[in-house]
Amino acid sequence: MLTPEEWGAVRLSLSVALRSVVFGLPPAVLAAWLLARGRFPGRALLDALVHLPLVMPPVVVGWLLLVTFGVRGPVGALLNDLFGIRLVFTTAGAALATAVMSFPLIVRAVRLSLDAVDPGLEAAARSLGAGPIDRFVTVTLPLIAPGILSGAITAFAAGLGEFGAVITFVSNIPGETQTLPLAIYSATQTAGGEATAARLAAISFALAIAGLLLADLAGRRLAILIGRAPR
Amino acid sequence: MLEVALRHRFPGFALDTAFIAPTPGVTAVFGPSGCGKSTLLAAIAGLLRPEEGRVALDGAVLLDTAARVMMPAERRRCGVVFQDSRLFPHLSVETNLRYGLRRAPRDAEGPGFAEVVDLLGIAHLLPRRPAALSGGERQRVALGRALLSRPRLLLMDEPLAALDAPRRAEVLPFLARVRDRFRAPILYVTHALDEVDRLADNLVLMEAGRVLAADTVEALSTRADLPQLAARRDAGALLPCTVLAHDPARGLTRLGFPGGELRVPLREEPPGTRMRVRVRARDVSVATEEPRGLSVQNILPVTLESLGPAAPHEAMLRLRLGGAVLLARVTDDAVARLALRPGQRLWALVKSAAFAANTPSLENPG
C-alpha cells in the first residue's frame, strides 16, 4: 500500500515523536512542579517561557533553535566540540525541535493534575517521616501519573505532526529528517504526488485520533488504578 | 513535658501562645473555630514555620528560632491525625498503615502492626483503598497510621470534627483506647467539650490566638471566671467519679467522688470503673434548708464559696463539697430571695435525670 520511502517517513515520525517525549518528559514534569508548587522570583517569566512555543510561530522556534544549536551557535558549537553531537539536519535535531514544541502540552497536563493533588497529603507524608524526594516519589508522582501519561500521549500524537519548527531547524532530508508532515508537504509540491499526499494524510489523521483517544482512556484507567476515581 | 511558646502573625490575626503540657498525658487545646488551635498544632508538627518560638519535648528542642533551630517536620516524629484523615488514595489501607512504620527509626519503641490493627478493629479493611472507607473508618486508619510511625508526640487536629454524631460516637472509644494503651503524649485540638471530658487530662483554653488558661480539666471546669467555659449551656463542674454500686431494682447507680456520692440512672460500667461526670451548672439548684418530699435524688450539703455574674439576670455559684467543687447557675432573683452570701451552708439539688444518656452529653455538643 505504501512505498518504502513512505514507510520510512512514518517510521521516522514515530521515532522522532517517541524520542521527543522521552527526553522532554523529565524537564516538563520539573517545570510543572516548579510552576505549581514553587514560590520564587521569576515564576511568571518561567510560566511565559514554557508556554511560548504554544503561541509563537513554529518557524520562529525553529529559527531560534538554529541560532542556538547550530554548528556555530553558542550551545551547538559546545556540543559539537565536546561530544561531537550535531543536531542540525539530524534526526536528533528533529526530536529536539519536536520536544520544544510539545513541551507546553506536557507541562499543562502535568500541572493540572498537580493542582488537583491535595498538598495536605504531602504534609501528611512529611509528618510520617518522608523527606522531599521520598514524598515526591511515593505520594506526588503516583497521584499525577494520569496527568503525565495523558500529557505524554498527547505530546506524542502532536509530535507526529510537528512541521514548522522541524523543517526550519533540520530541513527536509528523506530518511533523516523527513517526517510524516514533511513528506506530505513534499508530495504536494511534486507533480503527481496527490495520491501519496492523501495516503500519508489519512495515516496522519488515524494516528492523531488514536493518540487522543488513547490519552483519554489511559488517563481514566490510571486514575481508577491509583484510587483517584471510583471504580 | 512539652514546652510551647509561639508567635506568628497572619494578615488580620496573630498567634501569641505559651503553655507547658505535662507528659505523658492528654492535653486538649480547646477554643472556638479560628482561635489559632490548628496553626499551633502545625507549628509544633513543623508544617508551619512561626516567626518566633520555641518548642521542646522532654528536653529535646524541635524548634528554637532564637537559636536558629528548625528541625524539619519529617525528623520531628510528631504523628499527626488530621481532621480530613489525609490517607494516601493510591495506597491500600495496609500500605497506608505501614508508610510511617517503614520510615520510623529502627530503635524507636512503639506498638506493632498487629497490635494496632487489632486495637482499632481495622483488620477487615486492610486490602481496601481509602475511597472505599466510611468517614469513621478513615479516621481509625489515620489514627493507626500515625501511631505506627512510632511518634514521640501524637498531635490530633479535630479528628472527629468532620464526622456526624453517630460516627463520632463510633470513633471516640478508639481514641480513649489509644490513650489508655500507649504512652505517647497526646496534644488534642478540639472545639467539642465532650471530647475534652472524655479524653483529656489537661486543658489549654485558647481564644483569638492567645492562651486564656491552662490547668487540669477538673480544675478549669469549676472556674466561673472563664466565659468560654462558664457561659456554655453545658458548663459545669467535672467530677472524677468511681462506680460504687448498681441498684437495678431502682434503676440507679451510685457514683463516689471526693466529697460525696451521686445517684445517676443505671449505667453499664462495672463497680470500680473510674469515670468523669460533668454536673452541668444549669442542672444544679440550691436550698437554704434541707428539703423533704422531693423527687430529686441528689441532695448534697455544701458551702457557698463565692458567687458572680454568669449572664444577664443570672449568677454562678461555686459550691464547696469536701474535696470537690460544684457550679450552680441560678437567677439573680433567687440570690436576692434567699439572701445568698459566701460562707453560707446550703443544700445542692441535682436531679438524677440530668445524667440521663451518656454522661459527657453527646447529644449536646454545644
pLDDT for position A231: 55
Q: Are B101 and B148 in contact (CB under 8 A)?
A: yes
Q: Give the one of A127, A131, A142 whose C-beta lies nearest to B80's C-beta.
A: A127
* A125 vs B contacts (CB less than 8 Å): 88, 99
Confidence of residue A28 (pLDDT cuts 50, 70, 90): very high
Cell reading at B133: 472507607
Mean pLDDT for chain B overall: 88
By the CB < 8 Å criterion, does B232 face chain A?
Answer: no
Q: Are B131 and B137 in contact (CB under 8 A)?
A: no
Cell reading at B44: 509544633
Q: Tell me the C-alpha distance between B224 and B207, whole Å.
A: 17
B115, burial (CB in 10 Å: exposed 0-12, middle 13-18, buried 19+): middle
Which helix (H) or strand (E) is B166 found in, with range? helix B165-181
The percentage of chain A sitting over the pLDDT mark of 70, rounded to a whole number, equals 98
Q: Which residue of B has its CA nearest to A128?
A: B100
Interface size between A and B, measured as CB pairs under 8 A: 71
The CATH number of residue A115's host domain is 1.10.3720.10
What are the DSSP calls for B108-145, one per residue? -----HHHHHHHHT-GGGTTS-GGGS-HHHHHHHHHHH
pLDDT for position B360: 44
**Minimal C-alpha gap between A183 and chain B (Å):** 44
pLDDT for position B273: 85
Select from B90, B96, B101, B145 the residue whose CB has the most chain A CBs within 10 Å, as the one to mutate to test that interface: B90
Q: How many CA atoms lie within 13 A of B188 on its CB side?
A: 32
Confidence of residue B356 (pLDDT cuts 50, 70, 90): low
**A119 occurs within a structural domain:** yes
Q: Which domain does A130 fall in, by range?
A: 4-225
pLDDT for position B365: 31
By the CB < 8 Å criterion, does A120 face chain B?
Answer: yes
Which helix (H) or strand (E) is B52 found in, with range? strand B52-57
Q: Does residue A33 register a pLDDT over 70?
A: yes
Long-range contact set of residues B38-43: C-beta below 8 Å, sequence gap at least 24? B38/B157, B38/B158, B38/B189, B39/B8, B39/B10, B39/B15, B40/B4, B40/B6, B40/B15, B40/B189, B40/B206, B41/B80, B41/B155, B41/B157, B41/B187, B41/B189, B43/B6, B43/B8, B43/B15
Q: Give the one of B47, B73, B86 whose C-beta lies nearest to A121's C-beta.
A: B86
The per-residue b/e assignment along B150-162, b for 16 or more CB within 10 angstroms, e otherwise, is bbbbbbbbbbbee
Picking from A145, A151, A140, A149, the residue whose alpha carbon sits closest to that of residue A117 is A140
Which tops the pLDDT comparison, A192 or B234?
A192
Q: Report the pLDDT averaged over residues A88-96.
A: 92
By the CB < 8 Å criterion, does A116 face chain B?
Answer: no
Range 50-109 of B in CB contact (< 8 A) with A: 72-80, 82, 84, 86, 88-91, 99-100, 103-104
Q: Report the pLDDT averaged over residues B26-33.
A: 90
Q: Give the one of B46, B47, B90 whose C-beta lies nearest to A227's C-beta.
A: B90
Q: What phi, psi does A70 have (nearest 5°)?
A: -65, 165
**Minimal C-alpha gap between B75 and chain A (Å):** 6
Q: Give the one of B72, B82, B100 whose C-beta lies nearest to A120's C-beta.
A: B82
Task: List, in order of start, the domains of chain B with CATH numbers.
Answer: 2-221 (3.40.50.300), 236-355 (2.40.50.100)
Could you tell me if the ipTM is greater than 0.95?
Answer: no
Which tops the pLDDT comparison, B127 or B228?
B127
* B149 vs A contacts (CB less than 8 Å): 127-129
User: Could you report the per-residue pLDDT of A149-191, keeping only the tens digit for each?
Assistant: 989 999 999 999 899 999 999 989 888 899 999 999 999 998 8
Q: Report the pLDDT averaged over residues A29-57.
A: 91
Q: Which residue of A has its CA nearest to B47?
A: A123
**A230 occurs within a structural domain:** no
**A10 occurs within a structural domain:** yes
* A142 vs B contacts (CB less than 8 Å): 90
Q: Does residue A225 register a pLDDT over 80?
A: no
Q: Does residue A220 register a pLDDT over 60?
A: yes
Q: Report the pLDDT averaged over residues B294-302.
A: 90
Q: Kindly determine whether residue A128 and residue B79, on different chains, have CB atoms separated by under 8 Å.
A: yes
* A134 vs B contacts (CB less than 8 Å): 74, 103
User: Could you report the per-residue pLDDT of B145-162, keeping only the tens digit for each?
Assistant: 999 999 999 999 999 988
Q: Are A148 and A107 in contact (CB under 8 A)?
A: no
**Minimal C-alpha gap between A110 and chain B (Å):** 17
**Minimal C-alpha gap between B70 and chain A (Å):** 14
The percentage of chain B sitting over the pLDDT mark of 70, rounded to a whole number, equals 97
**A231 occurs within a structural domain:** no
Q: Give the number of domains in chain A.
A: 1
Q: Tell me the C-alpha distance between B4 and B1, whole Å.
A: 10
pLDDT for position B181: 84
**A62 occurs within a structural domain:** yes
Q: Kindly determine whether residue A124 and residue B80, on different chains, have CB atoms separated by under 8 Å.
A: yes
Q: Does residue B172 register a pLDDT over 80?
A: yes
pLDDT for position B340: 92
**A18 occurs within a structural domain:** yes
Q: Are B287 and B317 in contact (CB under 8 A)?
A: no
Cis-peptide, bond into residue B24, ω within 30° of zero: yes
Q: Kindly determine whether residue B79 and residue A138, on different chains, have CB atoms separated by under 8 Å.
A: no
Q: Tell me the C-alpha distance between B362 and B360, whole Å.
A: 6
What is this structure's pTM?
0.81
Q: Are B328 and B281 in contact (CB under 8 A)?
A: yes
Select from A113, A127, A138 the residue whose CB has the most chain B CBs within 10 Å, as the one to mutate to test that interface: A127
Q: Does residue B191 register a pLDDT over 80?
A: yes
Q: Kindly determine whether residue B91 and residue A125, on different chains, have CB atoms separated by under 8 Å.
A: no
**Minimal C-alpha gap between A60 and chain B (Å):** 43
The percentage of chain B sitting over the pLDDT mark of 90, rounded to a whole number, equals 53
pLDDT for position B8: 92
* B84 vs A contacts (CB less than 8 Å): 120
Q: Kindly determine whether residue B146 and residue A128, on different chains, have CB atoms separated by under 8 Å.
A: yes
